[in-house]
Structure 1
């Protein structure tokens, strides 16, 4: 019996060691497009109760982590394990980051419309109760995050609110 327990523990430890991977940063070039990000006052999303704009240094790696993976699911590409992406989102949403990542369970694929990319994730078994939408304007290297907790929406924007088309909203 002691050998079975010892063997089981050894297998668990071996599994834990094998499953750990070293993160590899993604390399890319910086976009030089100059389409302006526009601020809007109207929204078809739940009522906004708080808005935060943060000055976050841009990282070219974030562009490829999102733009090179259109159609893929954030979980499948381990998006939140991408160090440059995670640091950028963490700086943007601050203390909300851990809860947001924890509740990014049920997700949709990365979709885009005219250089604006959308990621969506929500809490398993409570999707309308906790939902996160991320929009990335690849032409202006601008990231927006919107967290909806029971219809109380908090928006975070790096360089201003990204105008999202109805076509992208419906994807």
Structure 2
């Protein structure tokens, strides 16, 4: 089901994956920022929201990638070579982020000696065993990547707005 030449919009599933992952990433960021002090009920609740959002991001990222490989994407909008390169680099970075960030979180929890539990289906899983030496490294990488991607996500959003308001092209409208 490749894209027909008469349309330059993303398919409805691609649009769903984009915005669902956006909302879940925003929820994960919100949850980790407002979780509260250690030992509090608030921290337990918001940490669980963070874990659930991260697991859902990873699951939807797999589906999104499979959909992208199967259905493709519309042709790039004509633009200068530098903007096209930056757009491809940003999209690649965002794909890496939606896979690496949840995986780092899962590995960090596992390295702390705990399985990841999917509460809504009562399933627990462990990718690696407890490793007290690796846990702080995984935690640092998870936090660093999360902080770095505040900027990448922000630049992605600003670029979409710039395409709409300044360049007046169809970039933003293709994904809404």
* TM-score, structure 1 normalization: 0.29
Higher strand share: 1
